Each structure stands twice: as C-alpha cells, then as structure tokens.
Amino acid sequence: MTRLRQKMLEDLRLRDLGDRTRKTYICSVAAFARFHGRSPELLGTAEVRRFLLHLANLKRAPATRVVYHAALTFLFVHTLGRPEVMALVPRPRVRTQRPSRALTRSEARALLAAMAGRPFDYTFFALMLATGLRISEAAALRVHDIDRRAGLIRVRSGKGDKARSVMLSPRTLRLLERYWRVVRPPEPLLFPARRLCNPGRVDPVRPWAAHPVSTSTMSARLRRLQPAGSCRITSHDMRRSFGTWLLEEGSDLRLVQVLLGHASPQTTARYTCINADLIARTPSPYDQL
C-alpha cells in the first residue's frame, strides 16, 4: 500500500465515512492515477478535467461521474491539502430522479405473489418489506444476525457502519425458517450468491459462492419479477413503504427513525409519505355537508 493511499484511508476514517464509501473513493482515485500513469500527488486541475471529460466521453452516467468528482475532491482538499485543484472543476449535474413512493398493500401483495415460485427472491424482498432494511443490509445478513430469543434482527453493517436492530415478528421468523428448509443456503450467509460454472449456469456441484448476493443482482431481479402492467417498483420504494405504513398505524416517529437507521428524525419525516390507501379511506369534507 502506498503512503498516499494509507493517508487517504486514515482521512476517510477520521471523517467517519462508511466502509462502502471508503472503498469507492479509493477505487475512484486509483482509476484516476491509472488513467494518467502517475501518482495523484504529481497531478492537478488540468489532469482532473481531462479525466472527468474522459468519463463523459465514455458515456458514464452523471451520477457515476459525481462519485469520481467527490472522491477527487476529498483527495485534493483533505488528503493533499490542495483545495485549489478542484476549485474550478465543475461538478456534473445529476438529473432529478423519480421520487421514491410508498406501495399500497395490494401492490405489495401482487409483487410478492409474482415471486411465489422463487423462494430466495420472495424471502429476500418480503424481509425488506417486513423490516425496512436497505437492499445492501439485507444482502449482508448472516445466520447469527437472526436473534430468535430476543425477537430481533441485528444489522451490523448499516449505512455509515452503524449497527442497529429491527423487529423479528413471528410471521417473519416462520418465513425465514421455511426459506432455510427449502433453499438450505450454506452458513454463515443468509443470502449467498450463486456460483456459476459457465455464464448463466449454476455450478451443479458447488452451487453457492462464499460471498453475499450483490445488490445489483437483486435490483435486476426486482425489475424483472414485477407484475405486468404495474408501476416500476424499486428497493427504495419498499423501504419507504415500511416507514410509511408504521407511521400510518400510529408508531412513534422516533421509533421509525431508529428502525430505518436515520441519523435525524427530520430525515425520517421527509422519507415517509402519505400512502394512497390512506388517502382513499379519508372521507371528503363534502360528505359532511
């Protein structure tokens, strides 16, 4: 490990950035160095601009280029102490994405029904609806994170490397027990990736890999398995549904904040929304005339 990489890793830790963010920033800076064939200590504004223009010419998405820009900004501002390098480098503009929404109960039931013949996928996404886990948190779960006696699921690697616990209801426990009997994934992973012997073909002898299923794989499955004719559903929609349903049922905002792993209740208040089911059930003032 080079001295510069070691110092940047230490700076990232001092900022309390999460493990995934640290890895992404380090990989982004390494790509920048490989592109120019020199240490970033010897590079400046012109080289940064050339690298970001190279990514744009490769048709990299603005959201991807923003990450590279953020990584290089951290490098030059905090690690190298040269903020002037990034001062005149424009940050890519990211288009506003479709806002996340809460599913109705009927939409959630239809989504799970479309996965009924796929126990791995059904259990993964049903667990997200039951607990509000991020897709990365669900993928990283291990068998020992399921605390049957306490009725809790331990989330050990949440956003920002913050641990928390979420509820494990009797119904969710039965779901996991049935999944374990049917799928029989190898311990310690709860949702391991499949081992391929050829592209698209699972190894018949050793079907499971020693690492968790990737979030990109599960996001692709979620897109593919949605009911025909339904609105597009994302993993974020499922997480928002969990928080919205709890608040509609009268749960305390602080409790929902803790369950979702938000640092601030203001984030939770913005994150949730009014479900269409509740709007439909609300009587109109006109009816009281």
Domains of the chain (ranges; CATH) run 3-87 (1.10.150.130), 105-281 (1.10.443.10)
Long-range contact pairs involving 30-38 (C-beta distance under 8 Å, separation at least 24): 30/5, 31/68, 32/68, 32/71, 32/72
Which residue numbers are catalytic? 134, 159, 236, 239, 262, 271
More confident site: 31 or 17: 31
CA 81 from centre of chain: 31
> What are residue 25's phi and psi, to 5 degrees?
-65, -45
Mean pLDDT calculated for residue range 143-157? 92
Residue range 169-211, pLDDT digits in tens: 999 999 999 999 999 999 999 999 998 888 878 888 889 999 9
Mean pLDDT calculated for residue range 52-77? 95
pLDDT of residue 289: 43
* Global pTM value: 0.72
CA distances (Å), origin 233, targets 102, 107, 110, 208, 276: 9, 9, 12, 28, 15
CA distance 187 to 247: 35
- Residue whose token pair is 């800076």: 29
| Helix/strand/coil percentages in the chain, nearest 5 | 55, 10, 35
